[in-house]
Amino acid sequence: MKRVLFLVIAFIVSVSLVNPVGAQTLKVGVVDLLKVLNDSEAGKKSILEIETSKKNKQTTIEEKGKKIEQLKADLEKQSSLLSAEAKKSREEEIERLIREFQRLVTDATAELQKKQREVEVEMIKEIRQILTKIGETDKYSLIIESSEGGLLYFDKTVDITDKVISKYNETKKK
């Protein structure tokens, strides 16, 4: 992937250096999708929603964890008073609760990650449409994504990230 990106950039540079008289100039734009995702109004809103959901799940998890710890402490205090059968029954109950707790943590983490991926995929789809419109309207020959690490240097004058954020915010307000 990096080799292909390098070859594309090398081709663009070589084409732009050899510009015959009357030929159309190459107009390149650079956009940082991560910045658009994080700094746009929709991005901030989705981050806030995910953080709120995360805090709610974390509260539930902490409550269940405290309950398990309390049951363990109670068992320790009462273990000398309990029969072997009652002690074994409580230990099995605690083990069952621990397995449920671990499943709850795993499920909550997976659910949050899934929700975040879904939001990002939808946002990127909308952002790509905006990039296409900007590319066509402003007659860009090429728009490159900068946050993936393949772009080592670019002049900040070709950065259209703020313009994309602005257009994205406008479309989300409608």
Residue 21: C-alpha distances to residues 10, 25, 51, 126 (Å): 21, 10, 56, 38
Question: Tell me, what's the pLDDT at 152?
Answer: 79
Lowest-pLDDT range, 83-97, 110-124, 143-157?
Answer: 143-157
pLDDT mean over 72-97: 88
Cβ contact 164:36 at 8 Å:
yes
- 159 three-state secondary structure: strand
- Name the residue with higher pLDDT: 42 or 1: 42
Q: What percent of the chain has pLDDT over 70?
A: 86
Contacts of 75 (CB under 8 A, 6+ apart): 82, 87, 90, 91, 94
Residues of the chain above pLDDT 90, percent:
63
Other C-beta atoms within 10 Å of 142: how many? 14
Q: What tokens appear for 64 in the block?
A: 């269940």
Please give the pLDDT value at position 137. 95
Mean pLDDT computed over 110-137: 95
Name the band, by pLDDT with cuts 50, 70 and 90, for residue 23: low
Position 31, amino acid: V
